[in-house]
Each structure stands twice: as structure tokens, then as C-alpha cells.
Amino acid sequence: MNVQYMTSSELKTRAKDLLDGRFGPAVAILFLGNMTAVALNTVSSTILTNLQVFLQLNVIASTLISFLINMGITLFTNIFSAGYALFFLNMACRRSCQVSNLFYGFRWQFPKCMTLSAFLTGIHFVCMLPYQICFALFLQTLEAGWLMAALPAVSAALIITTLISLVFSQCYYLMLDFPHYTAKQLLHTSRRIMKGHKGRLFYLQISFVPLILLAFLTCGIGMLWLAPYMQMTYACFFLDLMNPRREAGQQTSQNS
């Protein structure tokens, strides 16, 4: 049998159909997760400001400490990805979904979710650290050489982190389908099933860029509609990846 995967257009159409009349809970769970991240960033900024005044930190120390704090927040908020995956997969499969699904990763399989988050956050940290150091030195010295070094550093970091995120993009979805898998098995399985599909997912992601730009023109209000649309599309991508359409027409004609 021939295996045929859905196109980006078909995935988006499917996502719209699944969200029809159910945008409310989808908006609520993403809004709650984003507001939690905003609150944590606000608190961390306040703490950092107080540290700067109390310890009289220089620019380099402040920049690097801010980077470390942001990585810590990312380590925590990445666990919400398990809740998003559960919510939108349940909605895609016409099962019950609740806003409380957001905290699934903290209530169930927390060590596994933390391991996955630590792995992905750690890669991001290692890739972005050279840029952070170069940029901090530029802010401290205002020497153009450090800025020139920061530009290729951030470019390389973006390329590497994008590729890694594509390779391991299916980990949290897989965790729901295979709860007995270890974190290492989930990472390995995501890498395996994404072979030959990283380009598909990357194209799907960048196809949202025009809509994201339009959403920013509405002061972010448009993201209330766009974010659930994107999340549902990615859930549909996973379902299509695991269970593509199979067409027997060509095989039948050959047999006849």
C-alpha cells in the first residue's frame, strides 16, 4: 500500500474543523500557560533588579544571571508542553479535554517530563551561551568586535536549536501514547519517526509566520485565535505522522 501524508493545507483545514465551536477551552488553557510564564518572568525581573542594586552587579554579570534565570523558567514552563499535547490530542480525537490538563506534566510522570525539559533546555543553554557571553562583553565594552562575534554565534545557535527542536518535537505526544517509555526511549523514538519529516514540520511552522505578523499588528490579540490553531495543527501533524492515509489503488491496479 502507498502511504500518503497530509499536506500543510490539509492539516490546517483539519485543525480548523476540530476547533469549530470549541475555541473557548483552547484559548483558556494557552492563556493560563502564557500568563504563568509572564508572571514568572515578571518576578524574576524584579529579583534581578534588586540583585543589581544590592550586589552592584556589572553588565556582564547581570546579563548572564538574567540568562540563567530565563533558562530556569524555561525548564519549568516546558513541562506545560505535556499538558498542551494532552489537551489538543484529546480534542482532536473527540475525547474529553479540560483546562486542568495544563498541569498534567506536574501531576503525572513529572520525573519523565522534567528529564525531557532538562534535555531540551540544556541544549538551548549550551547553544546560546556563546552568544550571551559575546553580547554581554559588547554591552560592557561597547567594542564592535564583540558584536561581530555575537552575530554568527546567535545565527549558529538558532540553526542548531531549530534542528534539534524539530528532531525531538514529538516527545510529549509520544509520552501520552507510550506512557511506559523512558525519557531516553521517547527521545529516540521522536528522532526515528521524524526522519524525512523535519522539512514538512519546518514548512508547516513557517507557514504561520504571516499570520503571526498580523497577530502582532493587533497588539497580540490575534494570538488568542492563532495559538490554538497552531497547537491543533501540530497535534494533527502528530496523528498523521503516526497513522497516515493508506491508498491501495495503485497496488490493486498492478495486481490486476
pLDDT digits (tens, 9 = 90+) for 31-57: 999 999 999 999 998 888 888 778 788
CB atoms near residue 11 (< 10 Å) = 22
Q: Rounded distance, CA 29 to CA 25, Å? A: 6
Q: What is the mean pLDDT of residues 73-86?
A: 96
Residue 12 has pLDDT above 70, yes or no: yes
Q: Rounded distance, CA 201 to CA 233, Å? A: 10
Percent of the chain with pLDDT over 90: 79
pLDDT confidence of 255, banded at 50, 70, 90? Answer: very low
Instruction: Choose among 39, 41, 13, 31: nearest CA to 87.
Output: 31
Residue 251 has pLDDT above 70, yes or no: no
Q: What is the mean pLDDT of residues 223-228?
A: 94
Burial of 228 (0-12, 13-18, 19+ CB in 10 A): buried
Check residue 203 and give its pLDDT: 97
Residue 254 has pLDDT above 80, yes or no: no
Check residue 112 and give its pLDDT: 96
Q: What is the mean pLDDT of residues 4-11?
A: 95
Q: What is the mean pLDDT of residues 219-226?
A: 90
Look up the pTM and report it: 0.90
pLDDT confidence of 248, banded at 50, 70, 90? Answer: low
Averaged pLDDT score across all residues of the chain: 92
Percent of the chain with pLDDT over 70: 95
Q: What is the mean pLDDT of residues 78-94?
A: 96
pLDDT confidence of 253, banded at 50, 70, 90? Answer: very low
